[in-house]
Amino acid sequence: MATLTSAQRDELQAFIKDWLRHAGRSQSDLRRALQASSIRLPVLLDALATTYASQGPGGLAAQLCAIEDRWRSEEPGDVREPAGPGDDPLAQLDLLLREIRQEH
C-alpha cells in the first residue's frame, strides 16, 4: 500500500489549490466530487490520499481527470478561458499523469 510522503502531500495541496483556482471551482465543489465529509483542505487531501493508497499515483491522476471531465460536462457554456499557456488546468493534469508514468 502506497502512502503520500509529507513532501508529496504538500505538492498535492499546492496543485489542488492551483487547479481549483484555474478551474473556477471551490473546495466545496471538490468536496462534492469526492463525497468528503468537509470542505477543509486537510479532509479533501485525506480523501485523495485514500485513493493514492488504494490505487497508486495513476489512480489518483485518473480520479482528478474524471472530476475535471465531470465539471466540464456540468457547465458547458461556463468554461473559463485560461489566462495563459501555462495556466490550463488540463495541461497540469496531463503533466502530472506523464510524470507518474515516467516514475513507473
Could you tell me the residue range of the domain that residue 18 belongs to?
Answer: 6-103
Residue 21 lies in a domain: yes
CA angle (13 as vertex; 55, 87 as ends), nearest 5: 100
What's the structural domain count of the chain? 1
Q: Where does the pLDDT of residue 98 fall: very low under 50, low under 70, confident under 90, or very high at 90 and above?
A: confident
Residue 1 lies in a domain: no
Which set of grid coordinates corresponds to residue 56?
497508486
The DSSP 8-state label assigned to residue 77 in this structure reads: T
Alpha carbon of 45 to those of 22, 79, 82, 85: distances in Å?
Answer: 18, 25, 25, 27
Q: Where does the pLDDT of residue 54 fall: very low under 50, low under 70, confident under 90, or very high at 90 and above?
A: very high
Over residues 30-49, the mean pLDDT reads: 94
* Three-class HEC string of 9-49: HHHHHHHHHHHHHHHCCCHHHHHHHHCCCCCCHHHHHHHHH
User: pLDDT (tens digit, 9 = 90+) per residue, 60-83?
Assistant: 999 999 999 999 888 644 444 444
